[in-house]
Amino acid sequence: MSQTCGFVAIVGRPNVGKSTLMNRILGQKISITSRRPQTTRHQVQGIKTENDAQFIYVDTPGMHIMGKDRNKAINRFMNQAASQALRDVDCVVFLVDRSRWTEEDDVVLEKLTHVKAPVILAVNKVDRIEDKAGLLPWLAALQDKREFAAILPISAKNGTNVAELEAEVAKHLPQSIHYFPDDQITDRSQRFLAAELVREKVTRQLGDELPYQMTVEIEEFRDEGRIVHISALMLVERQGQKKILIGENGERIKNIGREARLDMEKAFGAKVMLNLWVKVKRGWSDDERALKSLGYDLD
């Protein structure tokens, strides 16, 4: 039997559940998640190989409308990363909300007009709908937006219809040798995942208190087999943000470190010794050279 292999972009507006969907498909955490929009900043590939089929899912930052509070170099980078993921893919999963269409959904839809690959519309979070009969007119209304290869109501969180979504994607994989070893699950390094896990904990714990002018740089990643030594630097733009991140008597940074370390130990299958500290680097989120040096690079 011949092998199939293809790239599948998961796109949608911010905070619609793209990373949750990819983690559900892969059966483990590859992309970080939080309730905050724009938690995902990079393209992250998740690889799933089943028998002769290899799916290379590309999780993308949420495509968003640029505005006065979203007009920094980092916002431009995220929109470009999401748009770039649509090039040369074999299939697109367009994720939307169970009941609401926004201007940002229109932004994504407009980007998809230039895509030749089949687009599957996945209507997420249907587990939150009490009156399931109300879903039918919504699905009918979505059919008028464009020609979709399929429309599926799903729950990325609970797994409802996710297997059906994967079966639909499988129809569009071209015949090809597998690009990755069958046991590989992401193109990203452990070092990258460590930085993302720290950033996830900051985003989850601080929410609105700390805006998006925060990133994480791994300064040391030393794997000694049973113990991994990691030093992570959290960069913020203002002194006040540094105080918030450290917290009273250092309690906040201790909690962030503890939660990140537990997730890292699960991901790396080893004991982790994690050191965290905070540094102010003014204007990094609007400085293209600084962004490149911090790994925000489309290449």
Place of tokens 């229109």: 106
DSSP state of 63: P
> 3-class DSSP state for residue 217?
strand
60 is in an annotated binding site: yes
34 is in an annotated binding site: no
44 is in an annotated binding site: no
127 is in an annotated binding site: yes
125 is in an annotated binding site: yes
61 is in an annotated binding site: yes
15 is in an annotated binding site: yes
Please state the three-class secondary structure of 243-256 as a single string.
HHHHCHHHHHHHHH
13 is in an annotated binding site: yes
59 is in an annotated binding site: yes
Total Cβ atoms within 10 A of residue 29: 18
Pull the structure tokens for residue 284: 């990094």
Contacts 24+ apart (CB under 8 A), 72-77: 72/285, 72/286, 73/285, 73/286, 73/287, 73/288, 73/291, 74/41, 74/212, 74/285, 74/286, 74/291, 74/296, 77/41, 77/291, 77/296, 77/298
Q: What does the DSSP assignment read for 153-166?
A: E--TTT-TTHHHHH
62 is in an annotated binding site: yes
How is the beta sheet containing 227-236 ordered, strand by strand? Answer: 214-223, 227-236, 271-280
17 is in an annotated binding site: yes
211 is in an annotated binding site: no
12 is in an annotated binding site: yes
Q: Would you list which residues are annotated within the binding site?
A: 12-19, 59-63, 124-127
Annotated binding-site residues for GTP read 12-19, 59-63, 124-127
